[in-house]
Structure formats: C-alpha cells, structure tokens
Structure 1
C-alpha cells in the first residue's frame, strides 16, 4: 500500500474526466474532482502520492474497505465461470446470495428481489406496497434520503427533491423524531417519541388511512444526519401501520449490513417491517447491487399474480458473487462485531471528547460505526454553523473545515452543517485514532466561525 507518484497520468485522467464525465448532483463547471490512483483497506491516494484515510467509506458503502482480496478473488472466479446470465434462471451465485441475506434479515423477510442499487430497490418496494394494498399514497419523513430515481427522489425529504417535485408522486411528508432539533418542543426522548407518533397519527387521519399504501422510513436516517430514533418510535410506527393496514417499509440501504454494529439497524429495536430495502454494504459496492427483502404476506400477493416489474441485471452473477464473499468475510472476520466494539470503546468517547474541546460541536450522535457531529455557530442557540442547504460564500465555514481535514490526511464526510464519522467497519484501532486526531485539527478551523 505504497502510493506511487505519477502526476502526468493523473493530469490525463483529470482532463478526460473534465472533458467527458457528467457528475451527479453537481454544477459541472464548478467542481474539481480528485483523480484517484488507487485504494486499499481504509485508505485511498491520488497521483501525487497524497494518501487519505477515508472517513466516508465511499458513499458509506465500502463496509469491508477497498480491495479486500477475498472479494476480489470471488469476482474473478465468478467472471471465469459465468460472467452474466438472465434473471429468469436459477444461478448459483444469485441463489446463494439470496439465502445468505435472508438468513440475516429480521423476521420473515425471506424472499429477496434483487435490483441494481438502493434507489431502484425503493422504487420496487413502493410498487409492491401499492399493488399489495390497492392504495396510492406513501408517507415519508423530512430529513431523509431514499435515492435519485423519480419515485425515490420524491420520497426524499431533503433539498435534492425540490427540482423534481411536481407534487404528483403520491407522496406526503411528515416529521420524524429528532430531539436535538425537535419540531414538537420536546425536552426528553419520551416526549419526542410520543409527540412524533401523535403527529404521524394526525397526518394519517387527515390524509385518510384507506388512501395510504405505505410508510417508508430510513431505520436510522443516514445522509440527513444519523438521527437514531428514540426508544419506542419504530415500534409505535409498526403498531400504527398494523392498525390501518399500511405496509411498513424500512430503508436499510445505508444503515444495513453491519454499519450500526448489528447486521441490520432494525435489530436494534426488534421491529420487523413488511419490506426492507438494502444495497451499499451488501457487497461493499464492489459491483452494483441492491434489493428488497419481502415478508411472507407481501410475497403471497404475487404467488399466483405476476409481479409487474424487473430489471435486466437483477441478481447479476458478478454482483451476487461479491455479496456472497462479502457476507462470508464479514462473518469470518467479525466485521460487524468490530464495528460495534470500536464504536462503543473508541469512536463515541473520542467524538465526545472532541465536543468538549471544540465550541463548534453542538451534538454527537450515532451507534456502531455510524456517527454524526453537528456543527453550530452557537451552542446555546444551536444555530447551524452554515444555513440550511448553504452554497458558495454561505458555506465558507464547512468548506474551511473540509479543507483542514484533507490537509490533515483524512477525507471527511461533509453534508450541510455536519461531518459524519463513517469509516469502513473493519477499520483498526490505530486508524480510528488517526481519524479522530485529524478531526481534532479540522474542528479548530470550524471553531473560527463560532460566536
């Protein structure tokens, strides 16, 4: 893992990118993508020899780090045996991946529909719920992200929805619990749970329970801020769904496959949804893969009635072989246990110690290897360090923090007024300490913008 310098090669990669690659979520003329030369484990590096500890796990998906040799070998072996095959057939890699996933999903989520990623998993989960119930509306939370495809982005509760939202997608948004910035004037977790559930009940009553097909929630919202739901909330939503015949969908695209120190975040609450979406960590993003885990009741709907949906690459053999190898590696190497242990013993106390030293830190929250640090101008008023959805000069404070973090040798996850601590789940103790030390330095830059 010794980065080799080759600036000329890096310049060529950068030039081709700028000439031809159209990047997501970006104003194309205002971005300056880093040319990446390689990656291994928890690190990646550029062509100038600069190495970064990746505190983002890509987009929170390289749960076993980069270039794990066992997964790379599994992809190579599958490519030599059967590179691809149509989804209507039974293929060993596909069958085994489904079996291993179903072994780990909660409750009776034993049928697996494979997709190419998380957004289309959400699209199909919603389609299944609508067909199962014969209803049209879907409720989703503000402060959420469910994907960039048309239905999924309309379910999303952050500004990435706005440009595509024509109010025709059959989506109703509501407030989920978040005690630090409570919409319910709550002072305790108990109050937040009770008032958030009452708000949801009222929303359902005024929308009409018989019109609602599903409620979809990220089990723990990821990009929106890693807000772990207070005790009793998910169980309360489950009860509401049962009472009104509403399908409960949990989105585990980011929180699933060990990120929280459990195989799925739903395991933390003991709640079993009717449908559960997954992607990202299922094979650490080595080959695109996502899916929907389906309960017996929903699966029965399509026992003799065809499900009207599919994908050319559903259950692609290379992607499924990578999933099989990833799950086996996670089990053999105790990756989920490592996330739980280091999250509790190093990450949480380390981040809380940073909060004590830096006036820019308003709150630290999370679980396992899934943590957010909320940055504020003023701890007393909780005013965010930058305005909501800030850009340009308005985002100067977070830009300064990000630049300081990269200079300190880590690649930070930065979104609005937060940084997330989300390294690979098999990160080592020394790497966690390295990351915390770099954040300590970077937070000093954020402190300069506090009042």
Structure 2
C-alpha cells in the first residue's frame, strides 16, 4: 500500500482464514490492516461467513479480535444453513457520505432481497443462539478441541494445532495423508475436512454434545495414529 495506496479502494480479509487452512491472524496483523486502510483512505472489509454468529465465542470475529471493519459480510450461519441468506453491515465511513445528501438515492436491488422466509429463519436462529447460550458453548467446544489437538502435537502424533474459538486445524507431518485420515474417520463415524495437503480441520456445529465431541476427537486420534 505504500506504493499504490492511492489506487486501492478496499482491503478484503477473513478475520481468521477458514477454507484456506484455518490460520488465525498473527498478533497485530488485523490492527495493521486497519491502520493501513485509515492511512491510505481505503475501506477495510471483513468476510465473516465462517467467523460470524458465535463461531469464535463472540457474535463476530471483529468482536473477538477487537478490530472494526468498514463493511462486514455475513451468510450461512445467520440461518444455520436452513435458508440461504447473506448480508452486509455498513459502517459509518461508508454510510455517512451516502446519507449526507438527503436527495440522493442509492439505487440497488436484487431479485430475492428481503426474502420473508429466509429472514424469518434468521430471526429464529438468532433467538436460539441467545436462548441456548451458544456463544459460551463455542468457547467450551474450542477449548476441548484445542486441548485435544495440542496434546496430540505434544505426543508427536501430529505436527501442530492451530485455531481460535470453535475453529481448529491439525497440521500434519509430511509423512501423513489428510485424505487417508479423513477416510478413516468416516469409517469410524466422524467427519473432518481435508484442506491443502497437510491439514485436517474441525468446525463442528455449536449444538454438538460432549459425547459426540469425544467421539470426533477419539476418531481423529486413532486415524492420525494409523489405527
């Protein structure tokens, strides 16, 4: 941005990289993006399709990492996938210029904007997240997964563990196959996602029970150990 900052309109980032391999931000990274965007007049946009709606134990990754974007995109978890719905939160830096002229109309629209069934599903889903304490549940789930994967790394079964909230990944040794581990786990009745060539990821539903979580982690330990 020091070379082309005046030509960059916005920076788009996931607070925690999800499908790319589950990489939490290194300390200061998101804060650095915020400062660079402020310095060069660019908007900071967070893609919170994965991190939004309690996944990290807070409503959004922006809350978890304490960095405020100018726009925040969300989808999926707003309805828990029961209806297709996505949206964008718009911060003051974007909103205020649009509202400054009372006669200005931002003409935009989509065929399915404000779909009643999808919005009803979202409202009900948000009520369930609150009523069942799923933000706290995400913290509990993440602690269990993180401790289990860290123990496996300490014992040399995997190379390392990484993650935040209820989004975790097992970084494998070069001699291990994430596809073989995934397939073996399926035989044992559990699911992991194999990403890249060296990673198995875990992002379970926040309503998972402790016994189901134990089954998941035991299956991974067995599969990663070649059993």
Fold shared, TM-score > 0.5 on shorter chain: yes
Local SS of the residue matching 1:414: strand
- State the partner residue of 1:197: none
Q: 1:308 & 1:355 partners in 2: Cα distance?
A: 53
Find 1:281's aligned residue among 61, 73, 77: 77
Pairwise mapping of residues 345-364 of structure 1 onto structure 2 (< 5 A)? 346-359=144-157, 361-364=158-161
Is residue 205 of structure 1 aligned with residue 30 of structure 2? no
- State the partner residue of 2:115: 316
Q: 1:225 & 1:440 partners in 2: Cα distance?
A: 19
TM-score, scaled relative to structure 1: 0.48
Structure 1 residue ranges, 4+ long, deviating more than 4 angstroms after superposition: none
Pairwise mapping of residues 265-280 of structure 1 onto structure 2 (< 5 A)? 265-280=61-76
Deviation at 1:409, TM superposition (A): 0.4
For residues 231-287 of structure 1, give each alpha carbon's deviation from its aligned partner in whole angstroms, at most 9, with x where no partner exists. Answer: 222112111111111101011111111111111111122111100000111110100
- State the partner residue of 1:253: 49
Is residue 373 of structure 1 aligned with residue 170 of structure 2? yes
Is residue 435 of structure 1 aligned with residue 216 of structure 2? yes
Deviation at 1:362, TM superposition (A): 1.7
User: Does the 8 Å contact 2:141/2:206 carry over to 1?
Assistant: no
Find 2:124's aligned residue among 314, 317, 325: 325
Deviation at 1:314, TM superposition (A): 1.3
- State the partner residue of 1:163: none
Bigger Rg, structure 1 or 2: 1
Deviation at 1:352, TM superposition (A): 1.3
- State the partner residue of 1:422: 203
Q: 2:166 & 2:70 partners in 1: Cα distance?
A: 26
Deviation at 1:219, TM superposition (A): 0.7
Local SS of the residue matching 1:337: helix
- State the partner residue of 1:334: 133
Pairwise mapping of residues 49-448 of structure 1 onto structure 2 (< 5 A)? 204-206=1-3, 208-303=4-99, 304-344=103-143, 346-359=144-157, 361-377=158-174, 385=176, 397-416=177-196, 417-445=198-226
- State the partner residue of 1:145: none
Q: 1:342 & 1:412 partners in 2: Cα distance?
A: 15
TM-score, scaled relative to structure 2: 0.92
Cα distance change on mapping 1:314 and 1:433 into 2, 3 Å: same
For residues 374-429 of structure 1, give each alpha carbon's deviation from its aligned partner in whole angstroms, at most 9, with x where no partner exists. Answer: 11216xxxxxx5xxxxxxxxxxx333212101001012211122111111012121
Deviation at 1:308, TM superposition (A): 4.4
Q: 1:306 & 1:227 partners in 2: Cα distance?
A: 40
User: Aligned pairs, how many?
Assistant: 223
Q: Which runs of 5+ in 1 are unaligned?
A: 1-203, 379-384, 386-396
Q: 2:184 & 2:161 partners in 1: Cα distance?
A: 20
Q: 2:104 & 2:225 partners in 1: Cα distance?
A: 60
User: Does the 8 Å contact 2:71/2:88 carry over to 1?
Assistant: yes
Local SS of the residue matching 1:302: helix
RMSD: 1.6
Q: Which runs of 5+ in 2 are unaligned?
A: none
User: Does the 8 Å contact 1:358/1:444 carry over to 2?
Assistant: no
